[in-house]
Amino acid sequence: MAAWSASLTLHASAPLRQPRLASVPCSAASQAFRTARTPLKRLPSYRHASAVGARDRRQARPQAPFCALLSVCKMAQYSTRSDAGAPSVTQIATHNQYHSDGIDTSSLLPSPIAQFNKWFKEALDRTDVQEPEAMTICTVSLPPSSSSDFASAHSSWRGAETNAAPRPSARVVLLKGVDPSGFVFYSNYTSRKGEELARNPWISATFYWRALHRSVRICGKAERVTKAESQAYFHSRPIGSRIGARASPQSRVIKDREQLEALVREEEQKCSVPGAAGLNGEEVNAPDAKIEVPHYWGGYRIIPDEVEFWCGRNNRLHDRFRYTRANMDKAADEDQWTVERLAP
């Protein structure tokens, strides 16, 4: 199989945006290098060209041979190689700039809960921020004891490394509420994250809103919400999602899709709502169906003791402000927090 090189088309007359990729043979890339005959050290800075005015950008536009070189060889942005018998390698060296007004210190609210709610509303109001409630949470496993039931489940998640040192695992979940005490999400308590939180409740969560050049990082301790809170949220879900939550043995190995669907159909019959999960192409609309939240499913509340607000700025000179508190005796929104600026 021939080697291939991904190419990137850039235009100096417009700010640098998401790269547009194409694939061309490496032989064509080599020909472009020979045609351009431009030493790499003399290539103009595109990062600078994207930040200057329109007139300056036109002046900074490279000559035609260099344009051809960029469109074929993608000039230190992305490159992929897939020689026969060789491992596939992808190299990424983009340098996107963040254009924002940063964080005005005087605008920061005393409580990180209030500050988060302010930023979240701004993200929610933007049409170019998709699913602002999506967050990456990270839990950390602890070495299980050989006598615990947890060991067998943990072994299936990590192969034979059950006696290894603690290690983190991350996944994306959806934020479902913010209250004075913390940040709420829901999950299966017997899933990998659930089992890890049962042994080690310390957790982190990260939001990233690219269109705003903003991110929020939360560290704290997870605790289960009440059964009443879990039931209230569970009942608000579409009936198919409720059936799926009851039927799926989350994080466990299953044989195939057919096994999962068989478990779902079995749960539909138990709850007297056949077809509720839409496996036959149409979902059943049964909003009044009373389906009990299972004991192995419910909510967690992240009680924070550290919250960082990040805002991207030019040349990686980002604004970072961290809220911390000494203990978690009070509700987060009512406690005294120390706010410090961190170096980017």
55 pLDDT tier (thresholds 50, 70, 90)? very low
Q: According to the model, what pLDDT value does residue 72 have?
A: 37
Across the range 233-261, mean pLDDT stands at: 93
Measured N-to-C along each axis, helices 239-247 and 227-236 cross at an angle, to the nearest 10 degrees, of 130
Q: What percent of the chain has pLDDT over 90?
A: 57
Average per-residue pLDDT in the chain? 78
Across the range 62-80, mean pLDDT stands at: 44
Q: According to the model, what pLDDT value does residue 47 have?
A: 35
Q: Kindly report, residue by residue over 297-336, the tens digit of the pLDDT.
A: 999 999 999 999 999 999 999 999 999 999 999 999 999 9
73 pLDDT tier (thresholds 50, 70, 90)? very low
Q: Kindly report, residue by residue over 276-293, the tens digit of the pLDDT.
A: 888 988 767 776 678 999
| Cβ atoms 243, 271 nearer than 8 A | yes
Domains and CATH numbers, the chain: 4-92 (no CATH), 105-251+287-341 (2.30.110.10)
Burial class (CB in 10 A: 0-12, 13-18, 19+), 145: exposed
| Cβ atoms 113, 218 nearer than 8 A | no
Residue type, 206: T
For tokens 């536009």, name the residue.
61
User: CA angle 285-299-277, nearest 5°?
Assistant: 25
344 or 150, which is more confident? 344
61 or 123, which is more confident? 123
Q: According to the model, what pLDDT value does residue 242 have?
A: 94
pTM of the model as a whole: 0.73
Query: Residue 220: is its pLDDT beyond 80?
Result: yes
- The candidate with the shortest Cα–Cα distance to 302, out of 332, 325, 267, 326, is 332
87 pLDDT tier (thresholds 50, 70, 90)? confident
Query: Residue 201: is its pLDDT beyond 90?
Result: yes
Q: According to the model, what pLDDT value does residue 10 have?
A: 33
Q: What percent of the chain has pLDDT over 70?
A: 68
Q: According to the model, what pLDDT value does residue 81 have?
A: 62
Query: Residue 36: is its pLDDT beyond 70?
Result: no
Across the range 61-72, mean pLDDT stands at: 38
Q: According to the model, what pLDDT value does residue 79 have?
A: 60
Q: According to the model, what pLDDT value does residue 143 have?
A: 76
